[in-house]
Amino acid sequence: MGWTKSISKGAKSASKSASKAAKSASKSASKAAKDTEKAANDAGKAIEKGANDAADAIIDTTNQVIDVAKDTYAYAEDFANDTAKRTETIQATVLRNTEELAKVGMNTTSKEFQELSKSVEQVVIEGVEVCYDAALEAYAWLDENLCNIALSTALAMGVEAYFTPKPDPADPGTETSTTLSVMAATMLAEGANNAAEGVVITEMADICVESFLLIPGVKGQVNAKLLKNVLANSIDMTWSMATAKALWVTPVGVGIVIGAWICPIVATMVCTRTIPTGFDEALGG
């Protein structure tokens, strides 16, 4: 009987240990489950907070963009409607443009350069329109004067780099100015009709766009399609091609026309978000 009691006692002890172990395991499992649940909740809250923070940041940024866009568009409208302001601004732009082009070696005292500069002033003074899409985009320049100062320097360097011939025939400036002059000379020699002229001039504008979009301050600040139309209209027979045929047919002359006539138009476009009336329309082809 002694051994029976011993077995019974052992069985009870084992049962008690098993029960204790089971309770411990259950408690551990319960704690682990709670820890997992807490971790999941914490992670969920962190994700939710991150999403909310990101959303708030996007909303803040969007509101800032909208505010800048409103200010930009309001300025552009005022500029378009104020002849005195346009006169003052384009004259300052042309003066600054002339100074910067002289620094990179262009002869800005020539009769041709002076006539082109005066012509572009008159075009802007006569009337501009707001680049609606461009004016609603946030951009780097909130101050038109500071924009003109910085952009005139960049444009002058761009003209020297991309539109002025060099001794090296493979230089980008040599290639571009030579190509444009050959296209202009061929078109003028053939006496093309208006539709054919529009096609050639649009192709010339395409070439110019590629180079202008490499210039800091222009790149990322303008719509490429709109810039192409503006450049095409600037080159058109009605404007610079009409008044500067002799310049357009030589590589050196190309740089002068682009520097004196087209750069102030591009600067006005970037800095005031306006363009001469009708310059947003595509030419033939």
Q: Do 188 and 272 fall into the same domain?
A: yes
275 DSSP assignment: E
The mean pLDDT value for 111-119 works out to 94
- State the pTM of this model: 0.74
pLDDT averaged over every residue in the chain = 80
Query: Is residue 132 in some structural domain?
Result: yes
Q: How many CB atoms lie within 10 A of CB 249?
A: 19
Residue 29 has pLDDT above 80, yes or no: no
**Domain membership of residue 23 as a residue range:** 1-81
Q: Do 148 and 96 fall into the same domain?
A: yes
Q: Do 1 and 98 fall into the same domain?
A: no
Q: Do 122 and 258 fall into the same domain?
A: yes
Query: Is residue 283 in some structural domain?
Result: no
Q: Do 90 and 228 fall into the same domain?
A: yes
| pLDDT for 59 | 41
The mean pLDDT value for 227-252 works out to 88
| pLDDT for 120 | 94
Residue 193 has pLDDT above 70, yes or no: no
Query: What is the share, in percent, of the chain residues with pLDDT greater than 90?
Result: 50
Q: What DSSP element (H or E) covers 129? A: strand 128-130
Could you give the CA distance from residue 85 to residue 118 in angstroms, rounded to a whole number?
17
Q: How many CA atoms lie within 13 A of 77 on its CB side?
A: 9
Of residues 33 and 272, the one with the higher pLDDT is 272
Q: Do 230 and 241 fall into the same domain?
A: yes
| DSSP labels, 105-137 | T--TTSHHHHHHHHHHHHHHHH-EEE-HHHHTS
Residue 102 has pLDDT above 90, yes or no: yes
Q: What DSSP element (H or E) covers 276? A: strand 274-276
Give 191's pLDDT tier (boundaries 50, 70, 90). confident
| pLDDT for 66 | 44
Q: Do 144 and 225 fall into the same domain?
A: yes
Q: Do 75 and 87 fall into the same domain?
A: no
The mean pLDDT value for 263-275 works out to 93
| pLDDT for 132 | 67
Q: Do 12 and 108 fall into the same domain?
A: no
Query: What is the share, in percent, of the chain residues with pLDDT greater than 70?
Result: 68
| pLDDT for 65 | 44
93 Cβ contact partners less than 8 Å away, ≥ 6 residues apart: 148, 152, 264, 267, 268, 271
Q: Do 259 and 123 fall into the same domain?
A: yes
Q: Do 74 and 149 fall into the same domain?
A: no
Residue 90 has pLDDT above 70, yes or no: yes
The predicted-structure confidence for 208-230, as pLDDT tens digits, reads as follows 999 999 999 888 888 899 999 99
The mean pLDDT value for 234-241 works out to 80
Q: Do 39 and 74 fall into the same domain?
A: yes
Residue 28 has pLDDT above 70, yes or no: no
The mean pLDDT value for 46-50 works out to 51
Question: In terms of Cα–Cα distance, which of 174, 239, 234, 244 is closest to 204?
Answer: 234
Question: Which of 81, 115, 147 finishes a domain?
Answer: 81
| Domain count across the chain | 2
Query: Is residue 74 in some structural domain?
Result: yes
Question: Which of 63, 81, 99 finishes a domain?
Answer: 81
Tokens of residue 8, six digits: 């019974």
Of residues 178 and 55, the one with the higher pLDDT is 178
